[in-house]
Structure 1
Amino acid sequence: MGQTVDSDVVNFTLEDLNIPRGTTVTWHNLDAAPHTSTSGVSPTPSGVWDSGIFNQGGSFSFTFEETGSFPYFCTVHPFMVGTITVTEAEQATATPAPPVATPVPPTPAPSATPAPAAQTVESSIINFTLENLNVSVGTMVTWENFDGAPHTSTAGVSPNASGEWDSGILNMNQDFQFTFDEPGQFPYFCTVHPFMTATVTVQN
């Protein structure tokens, strides 16, 4: 008889599951960021199931009526992958497979060296990291997104934007520029992935 298995989407991780045929899997998004549960291998959905985007607190259910191995991924964060292995009922127990390592937000890159005069600085958004920067007054910083996931460069401390600047959503290869005309320390973050934080320090 069919059963139900809950799978938590948390810490940017999708679970590998071993389940018997007829099981209904319900994915619950416990992250602050939006995710999907989409069958296939990134970037190509296989069409077996697709949750669409579900935000924190949202859920999606799918019943597995066929045996087989079904890879799946998050279309918003393609590095998030998992596999559902479905076997005949007498061959499987509905328990998670050995857990995969939880992704850890990478350490911010070293700070840029301050220049004595106004300049232009390029800051790459890559590997889910925002850079700490030391710049002089009058410097224009250009953030460019090299990740496959959307990001923002937003002044403030999550979840509160301070209003100095906000790039809005930057998809892959898009950029945003802002000129710092006042000295001070300016924390900033990504509104899509709030664990991404950094500071721009502006000196005379």
Structure 2
Amino acid sequence: MMPGMGLTAIGVTGVTISYAGIAHTFVDGMHALTGLTMFIGLIFLSAGILDGGVSTSNRAKATTLVILSIGLSFGTFALTMNSSNYTITLAGLLMAVAFPSIIISYLAMKMPQYAKPVGAIVALASATGIIMWFAFGFVSPDTYMINEPVVEEVKEEMISTAPVFTISILKDSAIQGNPDYEPDVAHVPKGDVIEWINEDTVPHTVTSSVDFGDTFNSNMMNAGEKYTLDTSKLASGEYEYMCMVHPWMVATLIIEEPKGEVKVMIPQGSGTQKEGQLYYDPTTITVPVGTPVVWDNVDNVVHTVTSGKDATPDGTFDSGLIDAGKTFKFTFSSPGKVDYFCMVHPWMVGSVEVE
């Protein structure tokens, strides 16, 4: 009986913690493990009562008092402060198991002649309930007994045109001490979309640290998978995030208020290489971190704005072909100097110094 009561208490506490929203790490596993522990405890408890009756020793009374205190404390919290929709269902299931068990145990100890018939009645009632539950899953009642379903209007999904900021989960980042997220500190203007790409060969997560994923959480990202986050829903400020599978992988996301755009002109005639011609105007600019830069093609031919030197792209950004009269915008979220050129006219070069 004693081990049964202990295991039951542990199981009840674990299930309550999980469903109360306190535990976020591997929560499904906690549900399964604590539920299993609780029901094993109930089996031990029932076996102890049926074998030796209910103990009336001081030790048993003290244990019972402790278990009731723990169960009532966590039960009160679960019913009043949790965000789960299943707490009442769980409590109902527990009572459906506990009350018949208590009654049968009492009868087995005090009035054994009634234990078998009452047990048979409970078993038949349980079997009937289970059969009816599954039966209604296959054969529904007439529609007049059911409210008409509310048909929600399907809205077309809007394609985001916000700038995309890419963060890489680096190869071999699962090994403690290796570089993990790149960049490790990301300055992103509010309203941009962040895209994490898992370049490693093992699963990772992108999970806000302070609240264990309440602010944002990618769940498991397998190799090659992506996770996107719309920063327009986040308040400006600093967010630390981590990988729940490898908790030593930690990085920082800084959401900043959008800064004013800086414009660079691609002037007329820049497609022709000649002395005195401005190709990007101004050729060199200095901007704070988080500043969007807009290149405006006022020439009459196509151009590109491609990061790199000596006509070799480095992959930081690439506008593709910018038609005459069109623009390209890129937000610089990391400090440093960035050189760029035109893929069509490689003599056209410029640079951005990010502070």
TM-score by length of 2: 0.24
Q: Which has the higher strand share?
A: 1
Q: Which has the higher helix share?
A: 2
Bigger radius of gyration, 1 or 2? 2
TM-score by length of 1: 0.41
